[in-house]
Copies of this chain bind each other. A is one copy, B any other.
Amino acid sequence: MAELHPVCAPLAFLLGTWRGAGAGVYPSIEDFWYTEEVSFTHVGKPFVAYVQKTKDAGTGLPLHAEAGYLRPQGDGRVEMVLVQPSGIAELLEGAVEGCNLKLASTAVLGTASAKPVTATERRFWADGEALCSSVAMAAMGMELQHHVVSEMHRLP
């Protein structure tokens, strides 16, 4: 078990594997409910790896997934790179203040077959023992708006 790189210390509240429930809305689709599992891990280097998977709350079938890396800059600023199996790659920038990480996209790219996503805002924050996450998204020609929110608890 490597020691946490000092620049990652402000992100220590994220480390571990978390599971919980979330809800999603968007004008172009039906409301949906899901179970979510995320993990934040480190190897002693100045980044934190992130992987996420969700399942439909009703059927248990796989819904969404994403993977990326957080790059804390040592002064509170944090960069993130993120990909989704829908063919989307995002660069994000933001800041961590206490147990509250807020990021906004600086670039969103899609493969030829991906749906058009133009911007996202992502937030991870601690609420007592829980870890919450939310995503706002501008997609399908619509303006940036709330998309999903979840609350998870750390797995032992």
| Interface residues of A, Cβ cutoff 8 Å to B | 2, 43-45, 47, 49, 51, 53, 61-62, 65, 67-69, 71, 73, 79-85, 87-91, 93, 106-107, 109-113
Contacts and interface: CB of A to CB of B under 8 A. Distances in A.
B79 A113 contact: yes
Provide the main secondary structure of the chain A interface.
Answer: strand
A112 B69 contact: no
B81 A62 contact: no
B83 A2 contact: no
Given A89-B91, A93-B111, A93-B112, A69 B84 contact: yes
A83 B62 contact: no
Given A67-B69, A89-B109, 11 more contacts: A2-B62, A45-B62, A45-B85, A49-B67, A51-B51, A65-B69, A67-B67, A81-B85, A83-B83, A91-B109, A109-B109
